Amino acid sequence: QLQLQESGPGLVKPSETLSLTCSVSGGSIGTVTYYWGWIRQPPGKGLEWIGSIYYSGRTYYNPSLKSRLTMSIDTSKKQFSLDLSSVTAADTAVYYCARQDMDTAMVTARFFDYWGQGILVTVSS
Amino acid sequence: EIVMTQSPATLSVSPGERATLSCRASQSVSSNLAWYQQKPGQAPRLVIIGASTRATGIPARFSGSGSGTEFTLTISSLQSEDFAVYYCHQYNNWPPEYTFGQGTKLEIK
């Protein structure tokens, strides 16, 4: 059974960088048939896609976050990571990592089929 | 950006009855639409893919329909465990700009 687990600080100061890691167990992260993504959810609000990364390191970012976002992947450690710089209170949210199914015929990523439990990150001084 | 609009924001239905949730896209997403269920304090759970295919382990009382810009999630004979927030998600763009609806809260009447 595939499992994903987010880790990182629960509190980040304004203007600093939010860094999270997702550890994957029960399956391979270096497969050609999946992307790996981050989604966030501000308290009491809806879901927002942050970005997705392929095992090769290819990334796709939400245009609204692109200037502050860096994602990376380490297949040997079965981990992928998120760095979001210059955070403000608006970045306070539960951050989820998830596996993203891929349409291998079209070479496009699709829906999120496995999710981590989420980690609450609060931006506050 | 494709905007996904869900209605209603809250739906009150009695157990055993049918619930119909709607999702509208600001432009065509073909059948590239998923539905997720989220319970308080939990991660979203995939329910429907490709607008109409149940995800693995999802009961047959869940069904999805639609294509283009109009989509529906129907839950027949509601069970207590079905009361949750439901989100639609379009994955039509490439390069991707995935977007979610704002959610419909399905509550017990």
DSSP codes of every residue in B4-35? EEEE-SEEEE-TTS-EEEEEEESS--TT-EEE
- What's residue B78's pLDDT? 96
CB nearest B46 (choices: A46, A63, A112) = A112
Average pLDDT over residues B88-103: 92
8 Å CB contact between A100 and A110: yes
Average pLDDT over residues B36-41: 97
What confidence category does residue B93 fall into, taking pLDDT thresholds of 50, 70 and 90?
Answer: confident
pLDDT, averaged across chain B: 96
As given in the structure block, the two tokens for residue A40 are 């966030």
CB nearest B94 (choices: A63, A108, A117) = A108
Q: What is the pLDDT of residues A15-44, one digit of tens each?
A: 999 999 999 999 999 988 999 999 999 999
Residue numbers in B near A62 (CB within 8 A)? 97
What are the distances in angstroms from CA A11 to CA A4, A82, A125, B4, B35? 21, 15, 9, 31, 31
Residue of chain A whose Cα is closest to the Cα of B98: A49
- What's residue A108's pLDDT? 85
- Rounded Cα gap, residues B20 and B31, in angstroms: 18
As given in the structure block, the two tokens for residue A124 are 């506050």
- What's residue A121's pLDDT? 98
Report how many Cβ contacts below 8 Å link chain A to chain B: 57
CB nearest B55 (choices: A47, A98, A113) = A113
- Rounded Cα gap, residues A34 and B30, in angstroms: 21
Residue numbers in A near B94 (CB within 8 A)? 106, 108
Average pLDDT over residues B5-30: 97
Residue B100 and residue A112: Cβ atoms within 8 Å?
no
φ, ψ dihedrals at B34, nearest 5°: -125, 155
Residue B99 has pLDDT above 90, yes or no: yes
CB nearest B96 (choices: A48, A60, A98) = A60
Task: Of B7, B4, B43, give the one whose Cα is nearest residue B22.
Answer: B7
- Rounded Cα gap, residues A19 and A12, in angstroms: 9
In chain B, the percentage of residues whose pLDDT exceeds 70 is: 100
Q: What is the pLDDT of residues A94-117, one digit of tens each?
A: 999 999 998 877 778 899 999 999
Interface of A with B (CB under 8 A): 46-49, 52, 60, 62-63, 96, 98, 101, 106, 108-113, 115-118
Residue numbers in A near B99 (CB within 8 A)? 49
Instruction: Tell me the pairing of strands B99-100 and B85-90.
Output: antiparallel
